[in-house]
Structure 1
Amino acid sequence: MRETTPAAMPPCFEKWCKRFDPDFKTQAQKKGFRHYLGGLLGESQRKNITQMANDSVGVVYNRLHHFITESPWEEKRINERRLKVVDSCHQTRVGRGFALLLDDTGHRKSGNFTAGVGRQYIGEIGKLDNGIVAVTTHLYDGKKNLPLDVEIYQPASSLPSGKKDPSFKKKPEIALELIDRSLKRGYRPGIVLMDAGYGNNTNFLKGLESRRLKYLGAVAKNRKIWLNQSGENWQKIRLDEYAKSLPEEDFTSV
């Protein structure tokens, strides 16, 4: 049974969609955008094109499919417009001193026709499986959480030339590109927060330091550091071994 019709959407839905009309060239694109967004906001757990078309009155599968896969609109321009709309409103504008949260999220997915699908670590199930992974950035100012960017990670196994493929990028490389997008917008975080997947990557940390960004991240307990306690001789030691050697009062609860 079809659940919704575009005409039944509340007035605020149309008001929101009109803000994005300048980024679409034709009426068909504007209509497709409304149908696609309405489908994403629908109650159905499955968000594929078939389900969206089946759940909505007046939405034709072929037209929605064409809008998503073939129509020449740019998702990055739509995202930039979204951030400008959010920043123009007092209730949604992010305050100063915010943190930038860096992470990746994965979902199981069968088949191999979708870009980025391959056997890799999937966070939602905590193990290797066939699926898709995206690197994401968010802003958090203590009250509001604002999604910034998302970029699909393409594992080497999904590319024609593997790791030698020109389009192959590691997750930390993608993460730095997303951070640069934020800096270009004028979003300069007070601190970057990340898990060990990024905290253990030396080149990524150097990238943050070259951009003069403070960061806090998890690191593996077997990571080795150079320690100079005497002021003369440097000693290489595992992080967990060094932590055990410190007195309890040297630690601050966070």
Structure 2
Amino acid sequence: MNAPSVEEATEVNYLITNVSSEKATGEWIVKTYSQRNWVEVFYREAKGWLGLREYQTRSLKSLHRHLILVFCAYSFIIWQQLTGGLRRRWANKPLNTFTDALSAFRTAISYRFVAWLQENHDVFALHLSNLGLVWA
């Protein structure tokens, strides 16, 4: 409310919950509502940095698969950021933001792909030759 009483208020916001009245104290409402921001941060990061808005699917099943992959990738990168796994090997600076962690993750993937390519160049050359291309 924007006033000390309901009678004086010109704006009133409501919170609807299925939690019992014993649990839904003023402190619980403030704590629960303050956690709402982190859900919004997750969706903003998922949409912006993980390509959640760049999907092109023709069926609901394909959309569900894409969303699952995006959420798994996000969870994996955040877990690596929080546990320091990416920092130990693939970053030369602290990973304070999701963008930093994503950059370190991309670096790790590219290094591992190049290493795999060097060890398995015959598999890659065979794949390209099946496409009619020559790789040397």
TM-score range, shorter chain: under 0.3
Which one has the largest radius of gyration?
Answer: 2
What TM-score comes out, normalization by structure 1 length?
0.18
